A and B are shown apart, each in its own frame.
Chain A
């Protein structure tokens, strides 16, 4: 446990020296929050009601989806995982440490946004703080599971970027962060339900802000939890120490099992 805690602390500190992770965990979400967030409040007064959840979800997407997989893939490609393995580290440790260290960075940025937004932009704070915290942690958990899975199954940095973009860009456009789901066509709503960010946004609105949503918000929270569990379980099952070893076939197909909760959501909720 002592080694695990030390490793976690070192990983957290090392991320502060990594320009890419600094950008994804702090500069991009905070810059976006200050520039675009402020602008959106001026353009669309209704955006204020959802500004904190939207910016917090953006922070999770940026820090976790854009930051975590590349880090894992690079560690495998460079032979870092092999070095750890011959020194006795378990695969579970190497999955958990980056995810936890990354989560702590995201928590710090989210905390800054949550505390400062009502003061700077005069936007409403969450009504139900415990639910706000719970939804945030579920959002972080679900996305971390998915990001870790992407980091585990992709064989190259370029491939990881492709998967990251496949989640990040649609999440920004379709999940209700910038445009409310109710304004989207039916097909757009269905498509958006394949994204964890959509359930997170609805859960924030329904549970933490006690607003109206298109479905019962706790269902979405349950799907986020199941999605996160599946992500981490599959990541640990499909984990490989290097690209040279006998790679399990159909890894991508197996990894897609992690999307089943969201597929069910798309079929059953709207």
Chain B
């Protein structure tokens, strides 16, 4: 098996008395999208900045494609592309000028195709100061991918983007993954992580509290599956089952919460048939990553 694209072992960083990162460990496999999740202030950006070589860790071992970000910055730039959360670009440079400039620094030919793909093709002569937030983020991503890096670090890439731009960016991330690019995605958007990431790590108060695929993480929690049913005669109003933890009536819908949706749905169908009722609508919603995240956050808060 190939070495991981990114390895983080025992990463710690303090700002005065505040421990921003405390013994953080995770690794990112080559060619996967890895989501780093956490609320504001959890340490996501500090982790990324240590990997980018922008910040020196107090302790820990970091490797990006086998390169030490704290010592081999020049080599690091060749394999890594970065989209910063708080980065900006010169206000009076046009998009065309910045693509040319960054291509020159990366010693590659300007990739105009990426500007087309990101919807910037007709804005090449527009100055940075005149771009919208979404356009600036897309430009930042275009610049990060100009030299076709093996690893891409994205810090809240879709923050402030409209739906269209968000979808386009997700498509580009999938394309890049298909081409073998490893993506470390820092976000607090759970839905984005759930749909985009192959694996995620949840960072709370500077510590990793869970790592796995979104499905694995949601499965390990106490999250309940929600079963929502509507029938013509509303025969489920008083329905009970040993594996239903909680039930309620919402308008014309009967709502049940269970950890075992299979037997419960079977029992519901049997009940409807027995009562000569007729099914109108049935929905089964598995616990989301967001619910698992909130559960972990509550646990972490109660531990303090």
Binding site for B on A (CB under 8 A): 2-3, 6-7, 10-11, 13-15, 17-18, 75, 78-80, 82-83, 85-89, 241-242, 245
Contacts and interface: CB of A to CB of B under 8 A. Distances in A.
Given A86-B52, A87-B102, A14 B86 contact: no
Nearest to B55: A245
B170 interface: no
B110 to A, nearest CB: 11
B84 A79 contact: yes
A216 B102 CA distance: 48
Contacts of A10: 93, 97, 100-101
Contacts of A82: 54, 84, 86-87
Interface of B: 52-55, 73-74, 77, 82, 84, 86-93, 97, 100-102, 104-107, 127, 140, 143
Determine the main DSSP class of A at the interface with B.
Answer: helix
A6 B143 CA distance: 16
A78 B93 contact: no
Contacts of A7: 101, 104-105
Contacts of B100: 6, 10
A131 to B, nearest CB: 37
A80 B101 contact: no
A87 B104 contact: no
The 7 closest A-B pairs by CB, nearest first: A88-B77, A3-B104, A83-B87, A14-B92, A86-B82, A78-B88, A17-B92
19 contacts: A3-B104, A6-B104, A7-B101, A7-B105, A10-B93, A10-B101, A13-B97, A78-B88, A79-B86, A79-B87, A79-B88, A83-B87, A83-B143, A86-B52, A86-B82, A87-B82, A88-B77, A88-B106, A242-B54
A110 B88 CA distance: 33
B102 A80 contact: no
Nearest to A3: B104
